[in-house]
Structure 1
Amino acid sequence: MGEAKRRKEALGEKYGKDPYILPWVPITKKQAEQFVNWTTKGAWVGIGALVAIWLTVIFIGPALGWWDLQ
């Protein structure tokens, strides 16, 4: 009997399913990785938006006369 068959018999119904991060938390490791990927992309989008707003306030705003910084 090979290792895969022994593992299949030992795990039973759980064989081939993604493992949970912790037994009492119903989040799989794959879902946790997807969450990290989404939040990382969201953080970069937020940083980009912050830079765009900053550039608008610092350079474009005064050029259009929105703020008088004298």
Structure 2
Amino acid sequence: MGEAKRRKESLGENYGKEPTIAPWFPVTKTQSQKFVQWTSTGAWAGIALLVVAWIVVRFVGPAAGWWQAN
């Protein structure tokens, strides 16, 4: 008997299903990797928006105020 058949017999109905992170936590490893990818992308987007907001407040705001005062 081949290794795949042995594994299929030993796992039963769980054969071919992706394993979860922990038995009590119903999230698969692929789902956790996608979550980390999305949160990392979101964090970098937030950092970029923070830099843009800082540039607007620091440079554009005072420049616009100076032009209106003259």
**TM, length-normalised to structure 1:** 0.89
The letter of the residue matching 1:61 is: G
Q: Give matches, 1:10-29, under 5 Å.
A: 10-29=10-29
1:8-43: CA deviation from partner (whole Å, max 9, x where unpaired): 111111111110000000101011011001101100
- Equivalent residue number for residue 64 of structure 1: 64
Identity percentage of aligned residues: 64
How far did residue 57 of structure 1 move? 0.7
Q: Give matches, 1:23-42, under 5 Å.
A: 23-42=23-42
User: What is the alpha-carbon distance in structure 1 between the residues aligned to residue 9 and residue 55 of structure 2?
Assistant: 61
How far did residue 3 of structure 1 move? 1.1
**TM, length-normalised to structure 2:** 0.89
How far did residue 5 of structure 1 move? 1.0
- Equivalent residue number for residue 52 of structure 2: 52
**Structure 1 unmatched ranges of 5 or more:** none
RMSD of Structure 2 on Structure 1 (CA): 1.1
What stretches of structure 1 move > 6 A for 4+ residues in a row? none
Alignment size in residue pairs:
66
**Structure 2 unmatched ranges of 5 or more:** none
More helix by share: 2
